[in-house]
Protein backbone atom coordinates (compact mmCIF):
# COMPACT_ATOMS: atom_id res chain seq x y z
CA UNK A 1 0.00 0.00 0.00
CA UNK A 2 2.81 2.42 0.89
CA UNK A 3 4.52 1.82 -2.45
CA UNK A 4 1.28 2.64 -4.28
CA UNK A 5 0.76 5.81 -2.20
CA UNK A 6 4.29 7.20 -2.30
CA UNK A 7 4.57 10.69 -3.68
CA UNK A 8 8.23 10.71 -4.60
CA UNK A 9 9.87 9.61 -7.83
CA UNK A 10 11.52 6.21 -8.06
CA UNK A 11 13.79 5.89 -5.04
CA UNK A 12 17.53 5.85 -5.53
CA UNK A 13 19.27 3.80 -2.90
CA UNK A 14 16.14 3.28 -0.78
CA UNK A 15 16.62 0.42 1.67
CA UNK A 16 13.87 -1.32 3.65
CA UNK A 17 15.34 -2.77 6.85
CA UNK A 18 13.41 -5.32 8.85
CA UNK A 19 13.91 -8.19 11.21
CA UNK A 20 13.93 -11.72 9.86
CA UNK A 21 10.19 -12.23 10.31
CA UNK A 22 8.88 -14.85 7.90
CA UNK A 23 6.67 -12.28 6.14
CA UNK A 24 9.71 -10.12 5.31
CA UNK A 25 11.74 -13.12 4.10
CA UNK A 26 9.02 -14.41 1.78
CA UNK A 27 9.72 -14.55 -1.94
CA UNK A 28 6.55 -12.53 -2.69
CA UNK A 29 7.56 -9.68 -0.36
CA UNK A 30 11.20 -9.44 -1.46
CA UNK A 31 10.14 -9.56 -5.12
CA UNK A 32 7.66 -6.72 -4.50
CA UNK A 33 10.40 -4.59 -2.93
CA UNK A 34 12.83 -5.25 -5.76
CA UNK A 35 10.21 -4.40 -8.41
CA UNK A 36 9.65 -1.08 -6.62
CA UNK A 37 13.39 -0.33 -6.70
CA UNK A 38 13.81 -0.92 -2.96
CA UNK A 39 16.68 -2.99 -1.57
CA UNK A 40 15.64 -5.37 1.21
CA UNK A 41 17.89 -5.47 4.29
CA UNK A 42 17.67 -7.68 7.35
CA UNK A 43 19.59 -8.09 10.55
CA UNK A 44 22.08 -10.90 10.92
CA UNK A 45 20.46 -14.27 11.58
CA UNK A 46 20.59 -15.15 15.25
CA UNK A 47 21.79 -11.70 16.36
CA UNK A 48 19.05 -10.25 18.53
CA UNK A 49 21.07 -7.06 19.05
CA UNK A 50 20.89 -5.94 15.39
CA UNK A 51 17.31 -4.80 15.44
CA UNK A 52 17.39 -3.50 19.02
CA UNK A 53 20.21 -1.09 18.19
CA UNK A 54 18.48 0.07 15.01
CA UNK A 55 15.19 0.58 16.86
CA UNK A 56 16.95 2.57 19.60
CA UNK A 57 18.59 4.80 17.00
CA UNK A 58 15.27 5.34 15.21
CA UNK A 59 13.59 6.20 18.53
CA UNK A 60 16.23 8.81 19.35
CA UNK A 61 15.97 10.37 15.89
CA UNK A 62 12.18 10.59 16.23
CA UNK A 63 11.97 11.88 19.81
CA UNK A 64 15.10 14.02 20.24
CA UNK A 65 15.39 15.28 16.66
CA UNK A 66 11.66 15.26 15.79
CA UNK A 67 12.07 13.19 12.65
CA UNK A 68 8.55 11.83 13.05
CA UNK A 69 7.19 15.28 12.14
CA UNK A 70 5.44 16.13 8.88
CA UNK A 71 7.66 17.87 6.39
CA UNK A 72 6.70 20.25 3.59
CA UNK A 73 8.53 18.20 0.99
CA UNK A 74 11.17 15.55 0.48
CA UNK A 75 13.98 18.14 0.35
CA UNK A 76 13.08 19.39 3.83
CA UNK A 77 12.85 15.81 5.17
CA UNK A 78 16.31 14.96 3.76
CA UNK A 79 17.82 18.15 5.22
CA UNK A 80 16.33 17.46 8.66
CA UNK A 81 17.48 13.83 8.61
CA UNK A 82 20.99 14.84 7.54
CA UNK A 83 21.18 17.45 10.33
CA UNK A 84 19.90 14.99 12.95
CA UNK A 85 22.34 12.24 11.98
CA UNK A 86 25.27 14.68 11.90
CA UNK A 87 24.32 16.01 15.35
CA UNK A 88 23.84 12.47 16.70
CA UNK A 89 27.27 11.38 15.47
CA UNK A 90 29.31 14.56 15.96
CA UNK A 91 27.78 16.50 18.87
CA UNK A 92 25.63 14.29 21.11
CA UNK A 93 27.37 12.57 24.06
CA UNK A 94 26.30 8.95 24.51
CA UNK A 95 25.97 7.34 27.92
CA UNK A 96 26.84 3.94 26.42
CA UNK A 97 30.13 5.44 25.19
CA UNK A 98 31.10 6.82 28.60
CA UNK A 99 29.62 10.18 27.57
CA UNK A 100 31.85 10.20 24.51
CA UNK A 101 30.79 11.40 21.09
CA UNK A 102 30.66 8.70 18.39
CA UNK A 103 32.86 10.58 15.90
CA UNK A 104 35.53 11.12 18.56
CA UNK A 105 35.42 7.50 19.72
CA UNK A 106 35.60 6.29 16.13
CA UNK A 107 38.58 8.51 15.32
CA UNK A 108 40.63 6.93 18.13
CA UNK A 109 40.17 3.46 16.62
CA UNK A 110 39.39 2.26 20.14
CA UNK A 111 37.53 -0.99 20.56
CA UNK A 112 34.30 -0.13 22.29
CA UNK A 113 31.08 -2.06 22.52
CA UNK A 114 27.87 -0.40 23.58
CA UNK A 115 26.21 -3.77 24.05
CA UNK A 116 25.53 -4.48 27.70
CA UNK A 117 27.66 -7.58 28.20
CA UNK A 118 29.41 -8.85 31.25
CA UNK A 119 33.15 -8.49 30.89
CA UNK A 120 35.89 -10.25 32.78
CA UNK A 121 37.70 -8.15 35.40
CA UNK A 122 40.66 -7.78 33.02
CA UNK A 123 38.47 -6.23 30.31
CA UNK A 124 37.63 -2.63 31.06
CA UNK A 125 35.58 -0.47 28.65
CA UNK A 126 37.44 2.29 26.85
CA UNK A 127 36.25 5.75 27.87
CA UNK A 128 36.31 8.89 25.79
CA UNK A 129 38.64 11.68 26.86
**Residue 116 in domain:** no
* The three-state (H, E, C) secondary structure of the chain, written as one string: CHHHHCCCCCCCCCEEEECCCHHHHCHHHHHHHHHCCCEEEECCCCCHHHHHHHHHHHHHHHHCCCCCCCCCCHHHHHHHHHHHHHHHHHCCCEHHHCCECHHHHHHCCCCCCCCCCCCCCCCCCCCCC
Domain containing 64 equals 2-94
**Residue 25 in domain:** yes
From first to last of its 129 residues, what are the pLDDT tens digits of the chain?
A: 767 776 666 656 778 878 777 888 899 998 988 888 888 888 777 666 667 777 787 888 889 888 888 899 989 988 998 999 899 889 999 887 889 898 888 787 666 555 554 444 444 555 555
**Residue 78 in domain:** yes
**Residue 117 in domain:** no
The pLDDT assigned to 31 comes to 92
**Residue 79 in domain:** yes
Q: What is the pLDDT of residues 22-52, one digit of tens each?
A: 888 899 998 988 888 888 888 777 666 667 7
**Residue 118 in domain:** no
**Residue 51 in domain:** yes
Domain total of the chain: 1
Amino acid sequence: MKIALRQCPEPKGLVHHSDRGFQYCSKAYTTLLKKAGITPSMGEAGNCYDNALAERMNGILKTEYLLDARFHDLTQAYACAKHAIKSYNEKRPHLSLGMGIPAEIHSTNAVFSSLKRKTSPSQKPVKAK
